[in-house]
Amino acid sequence: MSEPILSPDTGETAAERTRRLVERGLRRRYRAERRFQAYGIAAISIGLLFIGLLFTSILSSGWTIFTQTYVQLDIEYSPEELGLPENPTVEDLGLADYQALVRVAIRERFPDVEGRANLRELYGLVSSGAQFELRDRAMAKPSLIGKRETLWVPADDRVDQLVKGKIDREEPEDRRGVSDQAVAWIDALTADGRLERRFNRTFFTTGDSREPEQAGVWGAVVGSFLTLVVTLLLSFPIGVAAAVYLEEFAPKNRITDFIEVNINNLAAVPSIVFGLLGLAVFIQLFGLPRSAPLVGGLVLTLMTLPTIIIASRAALKGVPPSIREAALGMGASEVQTVAHHVLPRAMPGMLTGAIIGMARALGESAPLLMIGMVAFIVDIPGGFRDPSTVLPVQVYLWADSPERAFLERTSGAILVLLGFLLLMNATAVVLRQRFERRW
Amino acid sequence: MANGSSPATRPVSGPGSGSLERSEGVRRTVGDFTVPDPVMVCREVDVHYGDKHAIRKVSLDIANNEVIAMIGPSGCGKSTFLRCLNRLNDTIPTARVTGSISLEGRDIYDKRQDVVQLRARVGMVFQKPNPFPKSVYENVAYGPRIHGLAADRTELDEIVQTSLKRAGLWEEVKDRLDQPGTALSGGQQQRLCIARTIAVNPGVILMDEPCSALDPIATARIEDLIDELRQNYAICIVTHSMQQAARVSQRTAYFHLGDLIEVGPTDLIFTNPRHKLTEDYITGRFG
Ligand SMILES: Nc1ncnc2c1ncn2[C@@H]1O[C@H](COP(=O)(O)OP(=O)(O)O)[C@@H](O)[C@H]1O
Ligand SMILES: [Mg+2]
């Protein structure tokens, strides 16, 4: 069989010509592919670099938050110093002057310090929170009165910063914020083994405070948790129900088109607008308490709903029609078809939408400022109506504070926020895999 | 092509067929579309998808214990007709069905007719095997479960077992009832779909090209199965393969561009077609 000659001058056959042309194009194609891959790798590398930078900077300024400097004091619960009457009641114990005990204990260690200013400086080495710790101990165990005990109490935030090296010893005294004398005392205490860094329980168990060494992130963690519980409990079921109705049952007409357009628009509305809405509706109209996780959760629900609805609808659209036909053909009703077959198949996609929505809600602060969740709140919220704040707002509050120690706390709170996020996402991923494993 | 007055169209004779009025432009069905003791009776069925007139004035009876094959070129409305019989066209918003279709004497498009009940009586097997993404057991148990056919677990187990046995799948899957139905081979999946359908004991089974996604061996197994199932069910099968129609069916209906051109006993249709279009199609002149 002879091949047709395509061009008489070269004597090339059609097959040869095709091969030649393909080969010529091949090199260019490979080059383009390599270039495309290089772009992709470059983009990912840049992304990773910045994530790396972000984590390094947060970790390097925040990891010291795990420890806190403590001073060991020999406290004598002397009734005279406390100014207690003969047979003190619990109320008397509550009102007594515990700061005096702290003062006595420090002076015991540095008996030669003289003069009001020097003494004030000396007393300032210990956190002003120490007296409350003593009070709580005495009230919990009144038999301590008249006895001695050795205790570790938190040092002042400036001491802590110096010990952690965040305040430079080489700096001139007036710029340092810690006097030469105080540095000498700190060194003396350290040499005695009476000053050391221990695990910072306070930060992880208490609420906010004006004193950095007493400020904790737990209040904000609980606030965030309660707020997100409200958000999740409302936005996920409502969002999924809305998506299922719109996707599976609603007639396709102008009204549903209009609703669809509006849901898409809502997803793009700046979050602060939802805060304004929440202020007007939930607080002013319904009279719900300000600064409460309940209201915060409601506002974040409004913000999260469009995201969840859009993701859920996409997930429902992705369920192959053959599954629906199979179920309908078996005589399942429409509701049964959706509940038994379509929803389980769409669930992983819906959970992904929920993760995205909740992650955004966790990091949101602007709408919560509008409903008063920015207040300075010391107590750990105990319920959905208690005043509270949330992690991103706490970060913002601390970042705004002048004390150097709050800078460390800001990074610490960001670390906690990231940890919270990781935990939340891990839970969702595990849940999603459970659903996927059920085919 | 020619319309109703095509010279190839010979006068129709037979009980009940001559009494139907036909509008212009619609081809008369050649052959007798009635049977003595029908399960389903369709008269003058029209289906529109929006503006598109998909099938026109189709009248056909479905008989018990018989396989009727629907053949015809792609897009001629075989699937559309089949999906009228279990009202699966209801799920397509643009579809509009007119005419009358009755099952055991009751109009299935009647307002009082519950589709759930209808689909329990008229089962369907699809072109692409579509087992539920659940275990083999759950696939078969699903129908009896939603229709409340089993009083307890032992009864359900029994239904699952007999259905799988009748679908000729039991020996292959009895040790992996709890594994996903989607992990079976294509032919096994299709037999699983058949088992799932017969688990609710329907009167009629509709099959829309059930073997077109299968290899010849799996196809042969399904064909044997269809032949066995004929003892208990009325079966309507759409097929692209004329050999398959010849092998499994007792009657054949030939569709062409939305018209039911010719109906008759399979051996007659294939040996002695009366309509020119049928002849052209089965002799491979187009299709
Ligand atoms: N959902 C639908 N919407 C609009 N037209 C359809 C739809 N389904 C089928 N059709 C049209 O109806 C005609 C018949 O289709 P179908 O019954 O699927 O043919 P067959 O199964 O014989 O190949 C075709 O012309 C097809 O384009
Ligand atoms: Mg078809």
- The pLDDT tens digits of the residues spanning B6-57 come to 433 334 333 333 333 334 456 778 888 888 888 999 999 999 998 999 999 9
Q: Which structure tokens are listed for A201?
A: 């329980």
Q: Are B116 and A332 an interchain contact pair (Cβ–Cβ within 8 Å)?
A: yes
Question: Residue B271 forms beta bridges with which residues?
Answer: none
Residues in chain A within 8 Å Cβ distance of B128: 322
User: A336 vs chain B: nearest CA distance in angstroms?
Assistant: 8
What phi, psi does B60 have (nearest 5°)?
Answer: -160, 140
Q: Which structure tokens are listed for A323?
A: 């599954």
Q: Whose CA is nearest to atom 26 of ligand 1?
A: B75
Q: Which structure tokens are listed for A204?
A: 């992880």
Q: Are B88 and A325 an interchain contact pair (Cβ–Cβ within 8 Å)?
A: yes
* CA distances to A257, B49, B85 from B52, in Å: 25, 5, 19
| A236 and A342 part of one domain | yes
pTM of the model as a whole = 0.81
A210 falls within a domain: no
Specify the residue for token string 């129908």: B143
Do the beta carbons of residue B263 and residue B278 sit within 8 Å?
A: no
Cα angle vertex A97, ends A93, A99, to 5°?
130
CB atoms within 10 A of CB B24: 6
A381 falls within a domain: yes
Structural domains in chain A (count): 3
pLDDT at residue B204 in the model: 92
Q: Whose CA is nearest to atom 7 of ligand 1?
A: B49
> Which residue type sits at B275?
H
Single out the residue of A55, A71, A75, A72 nearest to residue A63, CA to CA: A55
> What residues contact residue B190 under an 8 Å CB cut-off, 6+ apart?
B125, B129, B210, B211, B213, B214, B218, B222
Measured between alpha carbons, how far is B83 from B87 in angstroms, rounded to an integer? Answer: 6
Full residue range of the structural domain in which residue A23 is found: 14-63
Q: How far is CA B147 from the centre of its chain?
A: 22
**What does each of the 439 residues of chain A score in pLDDT, given as a tens digit?**
455 555 666 777 888 888 888 888 898 899 999 999 999 999 999 999 999 999 898 888 888 899 999 999 999 998 888 888 888 888 888 888 899 999 999 998 899 888 898 999 999 999 988 999 899 998 888 888 888 999 999 999 989 999 988 888 888 888 888 888 899 999 999 999 999 999 999 999 999 998 888 999 999 999 999 999 999 999 999 999 999 999 988 888 899 999 999 999 998 999 999 999 999 999 999 999 999 999 999 999 999 999 999 999 999 999 999 999 999 999 899 999 999 999 999 998 999 899 889 999 999 999 999 998 888 888 999 999 999 999 999 999 999 988 888 989 999 999 999 999 999 989 888 888 887 765 5
Specify the residue for token string 């459970």: A434
A236 falls within a domain: yes
CB atoms within 10 A of CB A8: 7
Q: For chain A, count helices (H), then strands (E).
A: 20, 5
Measured between alpha carbons, how far is A408 from A284 in angstroms, rounded to an integer? Answer: 37
| A113 and A53 part of one domain | no
Q: At what angle do helices A116-123 and A98-109 cross, to 10 degrees?
A: 100
| A38 and A140 part of one domain | no
Measured between alpha carbons, how far is A73 from B24 in angstroms, rounded to an integer? Answer: 109
| A272 and A415 part of one domain | yes
Do the beta carbons of residue B73 and residue B281 sit within 8 Å?
A: yes
Q: Of A205, A234, A252, which marks where a domain is finished? A: A205
A1 falls within a domain: no
User: B6 vs chain A: nearest CA distance in angstroms?
Assistant: 39
Torsion of CA B261, B266, B270, B276, to 10 degrees: -10
List the single residue in B88, B142, B200 with the smallest CB-CB distance to A328: B88
Q: For chain B, count helices (H), then strands (E).
A: 10, 10
User: B88 vs chain A: nearest CA distance in angstroms?
Assistant: 7
A292: CATH: 1.10.3720.10
A22 falls within a domain: yes
A9 falls within a domain: no
Q: Of A205, A234, A262, which marks where a domain is finished? A: A205
Is the ipTM of this structure higher than 0.90? no
| A194 and A52 part of one domain | no
User: Is residue A40 less than 8 Å (CB to CB) from chain B?
Assistant: no
Measured between alpha carbons, how far is B252 from B29 in angstroms, rounded to an integer? Answer: 12
Specify the residue for token string 């009476």: A194
| A160 and A234 part of one domain | no
Q: How far is CA A262 from the centre of its chain?
A: 31
A8 falls within a domain: no
pLDDT at residue A278 in the model: 93
Do the beta carbons of residue B156 and residue B146 sit within 8 Å?
A: no
Q: Of A28, A45, A63, which marks where a domain is finished? A: A63
| A353 and A410 part of one domain | yes
Do the beta carbons of residue A79 and residue A213 sit within 8 Å?
A: no
User: Is residue B186 less than 8 Å (CB to CB) from chain A?
Assistant: no
A18 falls within a domain: yes
- The gap between the terminal CA atoms of chain B, to the nearest Å, is 14
| A55 and A73 part of one domain | no
Measured between alpha carbons, how far is B70 from A124 in angstroms, rounded to an integer? Answer: 97
User: Is residue A253 less than 8 Å (CB to CB) from chain B?
Assistant: no
Q: Which structure tokens are listed for A29?
A: 């194609």
Determine the residue among A256, A330, A336 to mutate to test chain B binding: the one whose Cβ has the most chain B Cβ atoms within 10 Å. Answer: A330
> Which A positions 330-389 lie with beta carbon below 8 A of chain B?
330-333, 336, 340-341, 344-345
Beta strand B52-63 pairing with B106-107: unpaired
| A295 and A266 part of one domain | yes
Single out the residue of A108, A87, A85 nearest to residue A96, CA to CA: A85
Measured between alpha carbons, how far is A330 from A385 in angstroms, rounded to an integer? Answer: 49
CA torsion sign, B73 to B79 to B80 to B85? positive
Q: Which structure tokens are listed for B57?
A: 């004035």
List the single residue in B86, B126, B134 with the smallest CB-CB distance to A322: B126
| A78 and A22 part of one domain | no
- The gap between the terminal CA atoms of chain A, to the nearest Å, is 55
Ion ligand 2: residues, CB < 5 A: B 79
| A271 and A406 part of one domain | yes
| A263 and A129 part of one domain | no
